[in-house]
Structure 1
Amino acid sequence: MRNNTTKNIQAPAGKKIFVLDTSVILYDHNAFRNFQEHDVTIPIQVLEELDNFKTGNDTRNFEARNFIRLIEEISRQHLLTDWLPVNGRSQGRFKVILDHKPPENNAETIFGSGKFDHRILNAALSLQLENPGSKVVLVSKDICLRLKAKALNLHAEDYETGKIKDLEKLYTGKTMLHVSDSLLTKFNRQRTVPVDILKQQTLPPGNHFYILNSKKQASYGFYSVQTKALRLIENQSVFNISPRNAEQACALDALMNPEISLVTIQGNAGTGKTLLALASALEQRKDYRQIYVTRPIVPLSNKDIGYLPGDVKSKIDPYMAPIWDNLRFIQEQFADKKMQNKIDELVNTDKIAITPLAFIRGRTLTKIFFIVDEAQNLTPHEVKTIISRAGENTKIIFTGDIYQIDTPYLDAESNGLSYLIDKAKSHPRYAHITLQRGERSELANLATELL
């Protein structure tokens, strides 16, 4: 006998009803639980699309499988076309809706048939007609689908969970201060001083870099949230790579600091993010069992690397070309052939492993120096998955440019790198620095600054 609470009744007046499309589920399989007291639905076409995504090792395959299991768990003996409680009877409800064709504003008639997106629009439009007392909102990571919805008089919005609210205030990890010559001389002489010397009204929430300038000189300092002290940063060369500016010096300090287990480096192309991370990994190679270098694979035409010919190395090499370019650049800094050959040996013996990101799922990474390049192409859930793999004595580095995103449905506010920078900034084992000055070449800087 069916429980009375699951009958197919209209949503209470004043409640919102959110319609989630496939892109939201693939971004966060738990999304349907994040709408508080409001009701949530998915069009039946979403289940069909998720069925196509359930096989594979990519994060979207993981999200699809987990969502399917969650829906199976909450439905039990009930029909999915009935309203089902999600987070208890006082919270919102969930159900699957069909794509009845609305008498007016039929999306398939207006935009064309044969696309699931248009049937999803029809499902939401029909729901809106059935619930005149409730505000029906389509939630999608697909900008074009949201625009189509609004053109049909249907409210639409992006999925906001995990998004940075004010990108202009995203943590940069650094503060530039003008100080007196006497203060800077004292700091350079004592090397470590109480942070009170800077006379800042408010202290940073976590570890922080200070770039101090006086009329005659400049110095850089690292503020430790644990010791409440400011330590002098000295320019250091790692594997024959030297910092070319203050920001790079700060980045190297974080990369080489054994007290820091998690580092993020954000910056435009050509600021040296990947090069500094690789050079510091090579410099510390004896302190770690292995060096892992990876980057998200964003395939062309939405095809997985399985479509490419050859073994795994052959499949991923085109995507990992920038990593190899940086390794070759480091090799070229040595006139000694012995050191050049040493880097080749580290690669051939898998001391340096350049691997697809999907291959780390389920593994525990112990005593690994782990570099994740192009991290702006990850979702917040993917970043969480990577960090959760860290075992004892592992250090993880995320590098990327949050304004250069290649993954559909991610942007500067919703990508995993921005999310991590915002959430981790107060942790004592974390350090972040934003690099702004390009060092690739004057020509590259021209493109960044003028074009």
Structure 2
Amino acid sequence: MKKTFVLDTNVLLYDPTAMRRFEDNEVVLPMTIIEELDRFKKQPEMIGRNARQVSRELDDLRSQGNIIKGIDLENGGLLRVALCDRETLKTLPIELEGDRNDNAILAVALELKKHCQCRVVMVSKDTNLRIKADALGLEAEDYETNKVDISELYTGLAEVTVRSDKIDQLFKHDAITLEGEFCPNQAVMLVDEINPSHTALAIVKDCHQHSSKLVALNEIANAGVLGIKARNREQKFALDLLLNDAIPLVTLVGKAGTGKTLLAIAVGLHKVSDEHSYTRLLISRPVIPMGKDIGYLPGDIKEKLTPWMQPIYDNFDLIFGAQSPKDTKEKRSLHPHVRRGHEDLIERGLLQIEPLTYIRGRTIPQQFLIVDEAQNLTPHEVKTILTRAGEGTKVVLTGDPEQIDSPFIDAASNGLTYVVERFKNDPLAGHITLSKGERSPLAERSTELL
């Protein structure tokens, strides 16, 4: 039996194509949604663009028929706008007075349930609205499209027990063939079946249905980059994926202090300034303000960006040794990067740091692009970023799904985890989940206890 889905505004702001994602069922948009879209469309960020996109699409659909009676969609579904019935609105509990827009959506769903013979489901990404709907006897669901099971998120790491001669063969020839099913570019830890302390690290090079070729880690991954050395096996795997130019997309997931951003920046600098594999290191992160937009900050663009980009600058300070009281001036001058600093790299055009607000519409060729805090992006926003990548560009997405500031996404519906799951079987991508914090004993302990 066909269903009727009543959508909340936040569903369309999260995914502007949501109207067409309910197969051959009926999709109902309460009139109050049009009013809310008009309010959001003036915002400059992705939310504003999504609101404008939905408004334009509804305007185009208007030419195909009466939007109140319903317009047939190409997938066999029906889309219509529903008006709120005043009498139904008056039946809502007194506790709900004052929340006009949410009440109008609830009233539309209640009216449909009263007269419709089919199953009526309200879809919202607002947890409280779903609770209210349930209290009123309505069926309510979260928007599940693009969601992943965060408990089963692909880690990019496998541990395999093998004979000791397999490990010896890897050390001798830097490559082995191993039976079993693996994902492309998956990190594998080989453990001796007799002596568990006898181990080796490898990356899946070519994977087939029954056997795969594994190669030893890049020597630089073991030695470190620009003085930044891996402190655990996940960091070694991450360095190997970052150093491999044949893998244009790398995702690094991990809690605070696991070294995601630091490793990405160190390799990016190495690739741009030492190996000259890319023309520029471009670092970006979403600007998720706590109630205020970036435009309200005083000063020029550099001064506006400083509070948002300071975590990036902190990583440069660590790489350049600027914050280490033990480093002498002579020691810091041993490497040319230390003498220049990130400001000089910016002046020379080797480094660019900017918010994601300005990335739409660009083509980014031959660059090492790092998108930090990618867990605050929607799947649609990540798609926009990845489609900006031109020929020869490597994209690195880093983030912690447990630290999300955006109001419309969560650990299961953000763009970072979505990309990890969708690309896990693609040879163009590599992923590692970093689990051990290396920032400091205090930071690691705080993550565990607090």
TM-score norm. by structure 2 comes to: 0.91
Q: CA deviation at 1:309?
A: 2.2
Query: Is it true that 1:137 corresponds to 2:124 in the alignment?
Result: no
2:245 match: 258
Superposition pairs for residues 32-51 of structure 1, below 5 Å?
Answer: 32-51=19-38
Distance 1:217 1:248 in 2: 19
Offset of residue 321 of structure 1: 1.5
Residue of structure 2 equivalent to 1:221: 202
Between the aligned partners of 2:89 and 2:337, the Cα distance in structure 1 is 72
Contact 1:205 1:225 in 2 (8 A): no
Correspondence list, 1:74-89, <5 A: 74-76=61-63, 78-87=65-74
Structure 1 stretch displaced more, 310-319 or 427-436: 310-319
Shift of 1:252: 0.2
1:181 CA displacement: 3.2
C-alpha contact 1:107 1:119 (8 A) present in aligned 2 = no
Q: Among residues 237, 245, 250, which one is paired with 2:224 in the alignment? A: 237
Map Cα deviations across residues 145-196 of structure 1 (whole Å, 9 max, x no partner).
11111111111100111011x33222111112233433212211111122x2
Kindly indicate whether the alpha-carbon contact (under 8 Å) linking 2:283 and 2:372 is maintained by their aligned counterparts in 1. Answer: yes
Query: What is the Cα deviation at residue 268 of structure 1?
Result: 0.9
Give SS of 1:40's match: strand
Shift of 1:137: 1.1
Q: Secondary structure at the match of 1:319?
A: helix
Equivalent position amino acid for 2:80 in 1: K
1:76 Cα shift? 0.3
Match of 1:66 among 53, 63, 66: 53
Counterpart of 2:118, as a letter, is S
Tell me which amino acid in the other structure corresponds to 1:387.
L
**Post-superposition CA distance 1:333-352 (Å, at most 9, x none):** 77223532323311333421
Letter in 2 for 1:314: E
Which residue, out of 18, 35, 42, partners 1:55?
Answer: 42
Paired residues of 2:146 and 2:379 also in contact (CA < 8 A) = yes
What amino acid does structure 1 have at the position aligned with 2:309? M
Q: TM-score, normalised by structure 1?
A: 0.90
2:317 pairs with 307, 328, 349, which one? 328
Q: How big is the shift at 1:242?
A: 0.6
| 2:162 counterpart letter in structure 1 | V
How far does residue 330 in structure 1 lie from its aligned partner after superposition? 0.6
Whole-angstrom distance in 2 between the partners of 1:113 and 1:336: 62
Structure 1 segments (4+ residues) deviating >6 Å: none
Distance 2:303 2:97 in 1: 40
1:275 equivalent among 262, 272, 281: 262
Which moved further from structure 2: 109-118 or 376-385? 109-118
Q: Residue 264 and residue 325 in structure 1: after superposition, are their counterparts in 2 closer, same or farther (change >3 A)?
A: same
**Where in structure 2 are the equivalents of 1:177-192 lying within 5 Å?**
177-192=160-175
| 3-state secondary structure, aligned to 2:304 | helix
Q: How does 1:2-21 map to 2 (within 5 A)?
A: 14-21=1-8
Deviation of the 1:103 alpha carbon: 4.3
SS in 2 for 1:287: coil
2:139 equivalent to 1:155: yes
**Amino acid in the other structure paired with 1:402:** P
Partner of 1:11: none
Aligned position for 2:282: 292
| Corresponding position of 2:183 | 205
- Do the aligned partners of residues 226 and 368 (structure 1) sit closer, same or farther apart at CA in structure 2, a change above 3 Å counting? farther
Match of 1:426 in 2: 425
The percent of aligned pairs where both chains have the same amino acid is 41
**Alpha-carbon deviations, 1:261-280, whole Å to 9, x = none?**
00000111111000000000
Partner of 1:4 in structure 2? none
Question: Following TM superposition, by how much is the alpha carbon of 1:114 offset from its aligned partner in structure 2, in angstroms?
Answer: 4.8
Q: Is the 8 A contact 2:185 2:203 kept in 1?
A: yes
Residues 31 and 84 in structure 2, CA contact (< 8 A), matched pair in contact too: yes
| Structure 2 spans left out of the alignment, 5+ residues | none
Amino acid in structure 2 at the alignment position of 1:348? E
2:381 paired residue number: 382
3-state SS in 2 of match to 1:298: coil
Aligned twin of 1:306:
295
* Matched residue SS, 1:318: helix
State the secondary structure of the residue aligned to 1:225.
Answer: strand
- Residue aligning to 2:84: 99
Distance in 2 (CA, whole Å) between partners of 1:421 and 1:167 is 11
Q: Is the 8 A contact 1:261 1:429 kept in 2?
A: yes
What secondary structure does 1:206 align onto? coil
Q: Match of 1:193?
A: 176
Q: In the superposition, relative to structure 1, how do residues 343 and 178 fare at CA in structure 2: closer, same or farther (>3 Å)?
A: farther
Distance 2:43 2:89 in 1: 40
Which residue number corresponds to residue 401 of structure 2? 402
Alignment partner of 1:163: what SS? coil
Partner-residue secondary structure (3-state), 2:223: coil
CA positional deviation for 1:87: 1.8
Q: Does 1:317 align with 2:306?
A: yes
Shift of 1:104: 7.7
Partner of 2:109: 124
Determine the structure 2 residue equivalent to 1:445.
444
- Structure 1 match to 2:416: 417
Give the AA of the match of 1:208: Q
Deviations 1:202-260 (A, max 9, x none): x1232211012333433210111369421111403111111011110000000000111
State how many pairs are aligned: 428
Contact kept, 8 Å, 2:89 with 2:107, in 1: the verdict is no
Separation of aligned partners in 1, 2:32 and 2:136: 19
8 Å Cα contact 2:206-2:214 kept in structure 1: no
Secondary structure of 2:298's counterpart equals coil
Mapped partners of 1:72, 1:393: distance in 2: 39
Give the drift of 1:364.
Answer: 0.3
Q: Is the 8 A contact 1:193 1:231 kept in 2?
A: yes
Q: Does 1:172 align with 2:168?
A: no
Question: Residue 320 of structure 2 contacts residue 332 of structure 2 at CA under 8 Å; is this kept in 1?
Answer: no
For 2:315 and 2:248, the matched residues in 1 are separated by 23
Code of the aligned partner of 1:193: I
Instruction: Please say if residues 377 and 405 of structure 1, whose CA atoms lie closer than 8 Å, have aligned partners that are also in contact.
Output: yes
Cα contact 1:54–1:64 (8 A) shared by 2: yes
Q: Which stretch shows the higher mean deviation, 36-45 or 210-219?
A: 210-219
- Ranges in structure 1 where 5+ consecutive residues have no aligned partner: 1-13
